[in-house]
Amino acid sequence: MSVIAANLQAVDRRIAAAAQQAGRQPGEVTLLAVSKTFPAAAVRAAFDAGQRAFGENYVQEGVDKIARLADLRDALCWHFIGPLQSNKTRAVAEHFDWVHAIDRLRIAERLSAQRPAGLPPLQVCLQVNISGETSKSGAAPGEVPALARAVAALPGLRLRGLMAIPEPASDPAAQRRPFAALRALLDAMRADGLEVDTLSMGMSADMEAAIAEGATLVRIGTAIFGARDYAAAPATHG
């Protein structure tokens, strides 16, 4: 068994244990393997171990990786999870299946206009700056209701839910608070009549807290692929 396969099994066990602790079924939580800075060969190894959903933070690196793994395209689900600039929306609209980081209407409008007609709707989440950090991307919680209604009305997109990257915390109770706030925002969207089902929250260090608060998708990189060496990563970020 490869190291990546063993790591995937360990992460699956963590997800199952956290779900059981929260009174949930493990199948309610999708594992998104965050493959940024890792080569296509690492994605292929994870695929061989049964993983199907992968997340990329950099547009060009992600597009290049998708091309290198073209033989697996129909079997893989590619999620763009990084900050997205207006001049990079076309490549994302043309190549990815999901986008997690919509934080303003202009980005959503461009993705909608640039999504090829022959492809299924782009599945999208709104990124929320749930901890109010000045260094973080994301819409303020108070902006979410209006933004959600506007995005849900766009053709070529399907609004699925919310994503957040809370401020790091080591205490489990402190980890849970922002996740609970994000869940409350999703509940409010449902009460407003929106058909949303996704809470993209939780990473290697806090996935248990996220699952306890209702995460439906956890974004895990280090625990699967190992520590990132950004100096050795592809230069095609952006």
DSSP codes, 139-205? B-GGGHHHHHHHHHTSTTEEEEEEE--PPP-SSHHHHHHHHHHHHHHHHHHHHTT----EEE---TT
pLDDT value of residue 231: 64
Determine how many CB atoms are found less than 10 A away from the CB of residue 41. Answer: 11
Asked whether the predicted pLDDT for residue 165 surpasses 70, the reply is yes
Does a structural domain hold residue 238?
Answer: no
Handedness of CA 93, 112, 160, 88 (dihedral sign): positive
Task: Give mean pLDDT, residues 36-64.
Answer: 98
Q: Is residue 8 part of a domain?
A: yes
Whole domain around residue 163: which residue ranges? 3-225
The letter for the amino acid at 164 is A
Q: Could you give the CA distance from residue 110 to residue 99 in angstroms, rounded to a whole number?
A: 13
Render pLDDT for 185-211 as a digit per residue (tens, 0 to 9). 999 999 999 999 999 999 999 999 999
- Domain membership of residue 48 (yes or no) is yes
Residue 221: inside a domain? yes
The pLDDT value given to residue 229: 75
Residue 203 falls inside a structural domain: yes
Q: What average pLDDT does the chain have?
A: 95
Looking at residue 1, its pLDDT comes to: 83
Percent of the chain with pLDDT over 90: 91
Burial of 209 (0-12, 13-18, 19+ CB in 10 A): buried
Beta pairing partners, 217: 30, 200
85 inside domain: yes
Q: Closest Cα to residue 219, out of 211, 227, 231?
A: 211
Q: What's the average model confidence in pLDDT over 93-97?
A: 98
pLDDT digits (tens, 9 = 90+) for 109-129: 999 999 999 999 999 999 999
Q: Does some domain include residue 196?
A: yes
Closest CA to 125 of 46, 189, 45: 189
| Angle, alpha carbons 124-15-43 (nearest 5°) | 60
Where does the pLDDT of residue 28 fall: very low under 50, low under 70, confident under 90, or very high at 90 and above?
very high
What average pLDDT does range 214-227 have in this prediction?
96
Q: What pLDDT, on the 0 to 100 scale, is given for residue 48?
A: 98
Percent helix, percent strand, percent coil in the chain, to nearest 5: 45, 15, 35
Q: In this structure, is residue 236 part of a structural domain? A: no
Number of domains in the chain: 1
| Mean pLDDT across 71-89 | 97
pLDDT tier, 233 (very low <50, low <70, confident <90, very high otherwise): low
Q: What is the CA radius of gyration of the chain?
A: 17
Q: How confident is the model at residue 33 (pLDDT cuts 50, 70, 90)?
A: very high
**Contacts of 94 by beta carbon, 8 Å cutoff, 6+ apart:** 114, 115, 116, 119
Angle (CA) 87-99-69 rounded to 5° is 90
At 87, which CATH number? 3.20.20.10
Q: Is residue 13 pLDDT above 90, yes or no?
A: yes
CA angle centred on 16, ends 12 and 18, rounded to 5°: 115
